[in-house]
Chains A and B, each alone.
Chain A
């Protein structure tokens, strides 16, 4: 994801003041020299992000960056781009066979193919920032700074902020959290997954409820034999825990396998990825267990209040 691209490469991001989207941000690249003179700075790079039709593809991400950032792109073949050259992300390499491609009516020679582990980049084209600057008519979209120490980030941000009144300086972490597009994606994902989760829980409850209801005859027989309602509910409790824990374990393993496979599905071009955090895993497990117990124990409690012979007859009908 785009957020990974920003977060994994640095500690501080500098964008244009008041511009919420990096695609529209334009800052002066000469800031880079002043920033590099600061003692607290380990490294920095500038980048231009844009999008344009490339060869036969209708829209492709274009990343123009300073040479200092090239090592981030692991070359699979060829060399890093010089002026008038580009390297292709591994996800679009198979779709672009030409050695020279046209981007916004300008010809670029393909000098290599890279992998970076970030789907957003691997589906795009990387070039020198000077070429990108000419293409998109801007100096830089943003600058990323890597600090020597994480202890004085706030002070470093203060120092950079006074260098130009038209810039906004933030930690990459807070930028990603505040970035509207990321928020929309995150909230949409949260709503969709929450809905799916709630429906799943309702399914678990309803299945457990149906299973228990279909065993009315058995409970009737047990009660006719003198087994108490508590005995029956205790057995059901243990059964429910075993069944739902097994189902959860199976679902967890399946989800983990799917999440491992998703990034390598060609159709998705590496744009989709995900992981299951321990907190989420625990939350899902506890919710599943509680809803399964609710689905199992409520009908069994109702059954415990019914005459045994009625349970047997209902179970037979």
Chain B
């Protein structure tokens, strides 16, 4: 499903990831743990095709990412993201944000998803008119709208209280149970309760 071989990465000449190799199977809920600066966000960005690694190879869904002709289209149809700060587009309503992310043939998913996530009342509001927890649920809906096969979440509860954090983890856990692969990078050990696999990074290496 996800295969990393000797992934290394440099920032301004400094090596932040050192020859990382592992595989993740379909339906896994993976907890990528580590202290701040351990390289987990960088690794997640590389795994999710948002950044190119300096060295090594990455395969997603059995395809070498360097051989994928249209990486944007691949990303839109196969991968979902949840970021720490939701990153909704401020001048679009919640509905427009979801529409922007959705493929044409998946736009019908929007209503089902917002009903499931309890945010159907918010569709015509703007991101700055709803709470942090609601924003993160919208971000989750955006990640799921195209029936992504892999969800990457980088500190998805970093800006939430414990109650809202639990809601987000339970939703991700539910998604993983349906067969979607979920990779969560976080320093919050609460994720461990939901993950079936933990990959710990220390100073850019898998420990």
Provided the pairs A307-B50, A309-B50 are in contact, do residues A218 and B89 lie with their beta carbons within 8 angstroms? yes
Closest CB-CB distance, B131 to chain A, in whole Å? 20
Contact assessment for B45 and A309 in the assembled complex, using a CB-CB cutoff below 8 Å = yes
Contact assessment for B45 and A222 in the assembled complex, using a CB-CB cutoff below 8 Å = no
Question: Out of A221, A228, A307, A308, which one reaches B89, CB within 8 Å?
Answer: A221
Provided the pairs A225-B76, A226-B77, A228-B72 are in contact, do residues A310 and B89 lie with their beta carbons within 8 angstroms? no
A228 to B71, CA, bound (A): 9
Question: Out of B52, B83, B100, which one reaches A222, CB within 8 Å?
Answer: B100
The residue of chain A having its C-beta at the shortest distance from the C-beta of B80 within the complex is A225
Q: Which residues of A contact B77 (CB under 8 A)?
A: 226
Q: Which residues of A contact B100 (CB under 8 A)?
A: 222, 225, 227
A228 to B83, CA, bound (A): 20
Closest CB-CB distance, A46 to chain B, in whole Å? 70
The residue of chain A having its C-beta at the shortest distance from the C-beta of B41 within the complex is A309
Q: Which residues of A contact B83 (CB under 8 A)?
A: 312
A217 at interface (Cβ–Cβ under 8 A)? Answer: yes
| Interface size of B as a range | 20 to 34
The residue of chain A having its C-beta at the shortest distance from the C-beta of B42 within the complex is A309
**Interface members, chain B 68-89 (any A CB < 8 Å):** 70, 72-77, 79, 81, 83, 85, 87, 89
Closest CB-CB distance, B84 to chain A, in whole Å? 10
A228 to B76, CA, bound (A): 10
> What 0/1 readout, one digit per residue, does chain B (96-132) give for beta carbons within 8 Å of chain A?
0000110000000000000000000000000000000
> What 0/1 readout, one digit per residue, does chain A (71-86) give for beta carbons within 8 Å of chain B?
0000000000000000
Instruction: Determine the main DSSP class of A at the interface with B.
Output: helix
A-B CB pair tally, cutoff 8 Å:
45
Contact assessment for B75 and A310 in the assembled complex, using a CB-CB cutoff below 8 Å = no
Closest CB-CB distance, B206 to chain A, in whole Å? 21
B61 at interface (Cβ–Cβ under 8 A)? Answer: no
Q: Which residues of B contact A227 (CB under 8 A)?
A: 72, 76, 100
Q: Which of A221, A223, A307 has the most CB of B within 10 A?
A: A221
Q: Which residues of A contact B199 (CB under 8 A)?
A: none
Question: Out of A225, A228, A308, A310, which one reaches B142, CB within 8 Å?
Answer: A225
A223 to B70, CA, bound (A): 12
A190 at interface (Cβ–Cβ under 8 A)? Answer: no
The residue of chain B having its C-beta at the shortest distance from the C-beta of A316 within the complex is B85
Q: Which residues of A contact B74 (CB under 8 A)?
A: 226
Contact assessment for B51 and A217 in the assembled complex, using a CB-CB cutoff below 8 Å = no
Closest CB-CB distance, A212 to chain B, in whole Å? 15
Q: Which residues of A contact B142 (CB under 8 A)?
A: 225
Closest CB-CB distance, B55 to chain A, in whole Å? 16
A73 to B155, CA, bound (A): 83
Contact assessment for A225 and B101 in the assembled complex, using a CB-CB cutoff below 8 Å = yes
A268 at interface (Cβ–Cβ under 8 A)? Answer: no
Provided the pairs A217-B87, A312-B87 are in contact, do residues A223 and B72 lie with their beta carbons within 8 angstroms? yes
Contact assessment for A308 and B87 in the assembled complex, using a CB-CB cutoff below 8 Å = no
Q: Which residues of A contact B87 (CB under 8 A)?
A: 217, 221, 224, 312
> What 0/1 readout, one digit per residue, does chain A (12-43) give for beta carbons within 8 Å of chain B?
00000000000000000000000000000000
Q: Which residues of A contact B72 (CB under 8 A)?
A: 223, 226-229
**Interface members, chain A 195-249 (any B CB < 8 Å):** 217-218, 221-229
Closest CB-CB distance, B95 to chain A, in whole Å? 15
Q: Which residues of B contact A308 (CB under 8 A)?
A: 50-51
Q: Which residues of B contact A309 (CB under 8 A)?
A: 45, 50-51
Can you list 7 A-B contacts (CB < 8 A)?
Answer: A218-B89, A224-B75, A225-B142, A226-B72, A226-B77, A307-B50, A309-B51
Interface contacts beyond A228-B72, A229-B72: sample of 19 additional A-B pairs, CB < 8 Å, sorted by A: A217-B87, A222-B89, A222-B100, A224-B75, A224-B87, A225-B75, A225-B76, A226-B74, A226-B75, A226-B77, A227-B76, A227-B100, A307-B50, A308-B50, A309-B50, A309-B51, A310-B51, A312-B83, A312-B87
4 nearest A-B residue pairs (beta carbon): A226-B76, A309-B50, A226-B75, A309-B45
